[in-house]
Structure formats: structure tokens, C-alpha cells
Structure 1
Amino acid sequence: MDLPNLKHLDVFYAVLDKFYPDWEKREDHYYLTEISFLMREVLNSPYTDETVINNLRVSEVKKYQTELNTLLNTPKEFLDWVLKHRMTASRSKMCQSKFIKPKRKYKKKKYQQLTLF
């Protein structure tokens, strides 16, 4: 990886650290969906959501520097408000339950297949 690319990653990781503390420990990637939404709908990025999410997932962030810097310099409260009000409460709950799966309190039982012999 070349040195200029590391500077681009610094901005991306600064955005993640600012808006999603402990993002490294999360099992889901819902925060990438939220960043993609902000980049596309609030900052008018020309890229599709799938393209943005896939590129962010593999840290290909060079072409998103303008958007990431804008997000980094935008107050957290404003972006939280936008994300909270972007969809109805029921739709938000459905999306979060789809992407953020709660840990089970119990383990699934694995049924053994009966053998005849």
C-alpha cells in the first residue's frame, strides 16, 4: 500500500471513530450502510449504495475523500438527527433487526440424524 493511500485511510478511520466508537468490535457492518446513506443522500455522492458499501468494507476510500472530510467536520448531533429521522420508526426497527442481529441467550439445539444401523 502506498503512503498517500494511508492518509485516505486516516480520514476514513477518523470518521468511524467519531461516529461509531468501538466499531472494530461490532459483528455487523450496519455503520457502513449509514455512512453510505449520508454520503449519497446528504452529500449528493454520485455512487450507488452498493458500490459505496463494498468499497468501504475493503477500505477503498480514496475517491470518497471529499465526502469523508465533510462528514468528519459535520457535528455528530446533526448526523445523528438525520439518521434518526430518515425513515419511519417501524422501518428503522426492521432495518436494524435485519442488519444488527442480537446475540442469542441460548444456543440452538443441533438435532442428530438417527441412523438405522
Structure 2
Amino acid sequence: MTARSDHKFIGFAAVLLLMLAALWLGATLFGRPRLQAQSGSCPVANKIDETLTSGGRWQLCWEARDQEGIVLHDIFYTTPTGVTRKVLRQAGLAQIQVSRDDGSAPTQVLTE
């Protein structure tokens, strides 16, 4: 990776983390939006459509599920030249590895 691509990746990671934090806060404060599995559509309130300064565009849908936590799905990236690619069908954020600074082994935090 070049320094420029590292910078772009760090920027994307920061944007994604901010979006996830906003989703978590919204689900906590305003209830848990639900999607109908068979509908194949994404409610406007659950859609994220973000265009970066580079001209790249990320589009995805999210929902908060009781068993799985926040789930991102139908994730697409459109290049600055207009080529759209499906990046990921679904990603659940129900499991988090916690590393402590006391030298103990990392623990897993699971939603139940």
C-alpha cells in the first residue's frame, strides 16, 4: 500500500466508525428499526448513502436486530469513474473482541 492509499483507507475507516456510532445512538434513542426480510427494500431511515470528497460513493442498508445487534447489508461502492460494485452482502456487529492493557488475554463480548 502506498501512503496515499493508507490515507484513503484511514479516512474511510473513520467515516464508517462515525456512521456506526450514529446508527447505534439512533437505535438506542429512537427504538430498533426493523426490516421485512422478504421485501428486499431498505426503508429511507435505514439507508446510508455517502459520497466522499474523492468522488467515491458508499451505499448500504442497516438494521438493529435483537439477536445480532446492528447488521449492515447490501453494501455497494461506486468508484469516482462510476463503476458500482457490491462489496458485502451482510455484516453483523454482534461480537466484539476486547483487549485490555493489563496484559490479560482478550475477551469476547457477545450479544445475547
TM range (shorter): under 0.3
Larger radius of gyration: 1
TM-score with structure 2 setting the length? 0.26
Q: Select the structure that is richer in helix.
A: 1
TM-score with structure 1 setting the length? 0.25
